[in-house]
């Protein structure tokens, strides 16, 4: 996943590092497992299981799972 067009028309890309599109999201349990492995080295942090992208324009959020290019879930801002 490197580039896609949001349903609102905004082009989203994670090619810039860092960027404001891709979110690093862990569940509390996943995070607990990570920090309990031992000493934390930020370079050794695993990638999140779910890849989450947020559109800066309409705030839609896209959840990609298992390396799929097609979003498994799409959330649109309600309020
Ligand atoms: Zn959008």
Q: Which residue range is the domain that position 44 belongs to? A: 3-75
Q: Output helix, strand, coil percentages for the chain, rounded to the nearest 5.
A: 15, 25, 60
Is the torsion defined by CA of 33, 34, 36, 38 positive or negative?
positive
35 Cα–ligand 1 center, Å: 34
42: pLDDT strictly greater than 70: no
Q: Which residues surround ligand 1, an ion (CB under 5 A)?
A: 6, 8, 10, 55, 57-58, 60
1-25 pLDDT, tens per residue?
A: 689 999 999 999 999 889 999 999 9
Question: Considering its fold, how many domains does the chain have in total?
Answer: 1
Any idea what DSSP says for residue 7?
T
For the chain, percent of residues with pLDDT exceeding 90: 61
Strand ranges inside the chain, DSSP E: 3-5, 11-13, 22-23, 50-54, 61-65, 73-75
């Amino acid at each position: 996943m490197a580039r896609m067009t949001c349903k609102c028309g905004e082009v989203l890309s994670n090619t810039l590092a860092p960027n404001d599109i891709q979110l690093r999201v862990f569940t509390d349990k996943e995070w607990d497992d990570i920090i309990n492995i031992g000493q934390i080295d930020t370079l050794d942090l695993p990638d999140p299981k779910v890849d989450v992208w947020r559109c800066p324009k309409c705030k839609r959020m896209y959840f990609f799972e298992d390396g799929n290019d097609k979003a498994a879930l799409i959330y649109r801002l309600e309020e």
